[in-house]
Amino acid sequence: MSAGKSSQSLSILEACSEKDLEALSGAGIDTLGDLLDWFPRRYEDRRRFDAFPVQAGGEPVCLRGLVVDSARKRFGGRRQFYEIVIEEGGDNVLSTSKVTCRWFNMPYLHRMVAVGHEVVVYGKPKEQGGRLLIDHPEFEVVQESVGLSIHLERIVPIYRNVSGIPQRRLREMIYEASEKMDPAEVEAPYEIDPGFPREEALRAVHFPAELERAREARRYFAKEEFFLLQVHVLRRRQQHLEHPGRVQGRKTGLLSAFHESLPFELTAAQKRSVHEIAVDLRSERPMNRLLQGDVGSGKTFVAMCAMLLAVESGGQAALMAPTQILAEQHYLTFRKWLAPLGLRLSLVTGSKRESDHLDLAGDPQIVIGTHALLYDSVEFSDLGLVVIDEQHKFGVAQRGQLIQQGIMPDVLVMTATPIPRTLTLTIYGDLDVSVLDELPAGRGKIVTGVRVKPKVTDVTRFVKEQLVEGRQAYLVYPLVEESGAVKAGSVTGEIEKWRKRCKGYEVGLLHGQLKPEEKEDVMNRFRDNEIQVLVATTVVEVGVDVPNANLMVIYNAERFGLAQLHQLRGRIGRGKHRSYCVLVTDGKSEDGLRKLRVLEDTGDGFKIAEEDLVLRGPGEVLGTAQSGLSDLRFADFLADTALVREARALAEELLERDPDLEDYPELRERIRE
């Protein structure tokens, strides 16, 4: 989403040849506005360069040097590489520091960079065979220009590559475009920052005088992008509320009977959420609510309460889960707790259909399933409530597809991934939010520990100690099979080793490539304690509920995101026993260790989610299925709570004054309907 785009032709640029026009068009760049929207992905401060390293380091370096040697070589059969040796130059005439740069399967590079060229390279050095190497560095040949150069002695923008156009020429085109742009054409249709004209922000984001000025300009465009997204989600919410809803939930007989049958008391947070949902159901406007809570906070029971209110009003309720294992578990849970109420339940997944009322007449009142609810010919006679579990694993379009199967049904979406407030405002800006911020009583304490390269014998001894006590264990690995490209453990590579180590106990295998019936069989046997040790991938991340399992060992834990590790950890601590989560790592990455220490320090999913957002960015935290998220160019600013709130306030203020954007036709065209 962009605003204030110039429609001027690229042909006005002297730096742009016919061949360049074709290459730019292939990248979706057809106007001056498109070119100015091609923002830098990073900057190099070429007023000073890093000193040539004397040893390998974890951080990339930006070096300026003279090419003193070059060669084309073969490596491992037909694999070719081209390498150059650069020597530190500049004022340090006594330096003899050298770094080798090499590129695999790019033999044409010898025509671009050769002995005698002065170059700027950017990459991460490593040691090999007694010399310092940078593989596949970004590079640029220095060509001294007469007068002021936009390539040296300044903050220099580095752009995403456009096939067929060297970085240097692309920079020259964008510089010329920034000089020739018409200020009136690039002005935003709605003022984002009164003290920062958009024309000035464009120049600053491409060719800043200082890095701080570049950050200010990027923040300006992030605010503009979030503002457009907020206008979009708020208008979607507005349009949703304009539809007449169905009034339901006034009868509470089933809800009261269910509540009285429970052997435990709902938490205050669960009661509060049920009340908020009941108010929505009884309203004449359609419900559109997000229920978010930490692992084990009891969202399923809140969903049951909501569905009972809908069923007693005469409609049907559907629950859609992302996996067959989770859908089947929901079905079994619902059947266990709702059977005394005499309700008709059915299960619909890609591989099976099941019903608890085959001998009863009438349509099912509650339907639980996977994506099969969307694509298999499931006919709802009167769908009144749609519940979508693990919302972040579905796109908005899929959500809409299920909703369309009813006449404006009420919608409750749930997630066990605690979502930072900024993402809730941005991605779920069209939803009301209920939060389960406390755990039910009787949960066992979870002790989390990070272990760097622990001895196999120590881990085995600890696992067996828990098994002797009658408990069960998860052993989680990142890969299904061994990989030459990735140094990490796999379930198929480790399963037999664990069977030998845990002789006398049943060790099961679970991963996503098993057939659905095989997965179901393994999970049922683990649930029934016929399997004591489960060697698994992250398929156990969501929804697996085995209260007797109190140990989880996660190998190569640094390879997972914080939120995912927290989800995995949530599979234990579900019974009354003390539980243990062991995070095994090689300790090579300082960032990885710092991330894992967060899990040692806290069990609060919301704090963990905030940290995860800062460490990995929103695309990794939520996945890119969410509408709008995969398109965001300034997603890194979603961790800036103040900025997101400013954008939200701007959007609310605008829509309050002009709900249909009648005074802003250009803005109305730019937001996606």
Lowest mean pLDDT among 107-111, 229-233, 361-365, 403-407: 403-407
Question: Does residue 534 register a pLDDT over 80?
Answer: yes
Between 532 and 144, name the one with better pLDDT: 532
**pLDDT per residue over 174-197, tens digit each?**
999 999 998 888 888 788 888 899
In the chain, DSSP finds a helix count (H) and a strand count (E) of: 22, 23
Assign a CATH topology to domain 253-436. Answer: Rossmann fold (3.40.50)
Question: Does residue 296 register a pLDDT over 60?
Answer: yes
pLDDT of residue 448: 95
Across 394-405, average pLDDT? 60
* Positive or negative torsion for Cα 671, 391, 221, 27: negative
Lowest mean pLDDT among 23-27, 393-397, 460-464, 518-522: 393-397
pLDDT of residue 542: 62
Confidence of residue 412 (pLDDT cuts 50, 70, 90): very high
Question: Does residue 468 register a pLDDT over 90?
Answer: yes
Lowest mean pLDDT among 419-428, 512-521, 549-558, 641-650: 419-428
Q: How far is CA 13 from CA 17, 25, 173, 175, 226, in A?
A: 9, 15, 7, 10, 31
Lowest mean pLDDT among 163-167, 321-325, 620-624: 620-624
**pLDDT per residue over 227-263, tens digit each?**
988 898 888 888 777 777 789 989 999 999 999 999 8
Confidence of residue 147 (pLDDT cuts 50, 70, 90): very low
Question: Does residue 483 register a pLDDT over 50?
Answer: yes
**Cβ pair 198, 188 in contact under 8 A:** yes
Do 253-436 and 48-153 have the same topology in CATH?
Answer: no
**Cβ pair 186, 5 in contact under 8 A:** yes
Question: Does residue 403 register a pLDDT over 70?
Answer: no
How far apart are the C-alpha atoms of 407 and 404, rounded to whole Å?
7
Query: What percent of the chain is predicted at pLDDT more than 70?
Result: 88
Across 488-511, average pLDDT? 93
Domain 48-153 CATH class label: mainly beta
**How many Å from the N-terminal Cα to the C-terminal Cα in the chain?**
12
Average pLDDT value for the chain: 85
Domain assignments of the chain as residue spans, ordered by start: 48-153, 253-436, 446-603
Question: Does residue 128 register a pLDDT over 50?
Answer: yes
Between 292 and 670, name the one with better pLDDT: 292
pLDDT of residue 358: 47
Residue among 536, 538, 531 at smallest CA distance from 322: 538
How far apart are the C-alpha atoms of 238 and 540, rounded to whole Å?
38
**pLDDT per residue over 566-619, tens digit each?**
889 988 988 888 999 999 999 888 888 888 999 998 888 878 877 877 776 665
pLDDT of residue 617: 64
What dotted CATH number matches 446-603? 3.40.50.300
Confidence of residue 360 (pLDDT cuts 50, 70, 90): very low
**pLDDT per residue over 29-65, tens digit each?**
999 999 999 999 999 888 888 888 888 877 888 999 9
Confidence of residue 377 (pLDDT cuts 50, 70, 90): low
pLDDT of residue 485: 65
How far apart are the C-alpha atoms of 102 and 121, rounded to whole Å?
11
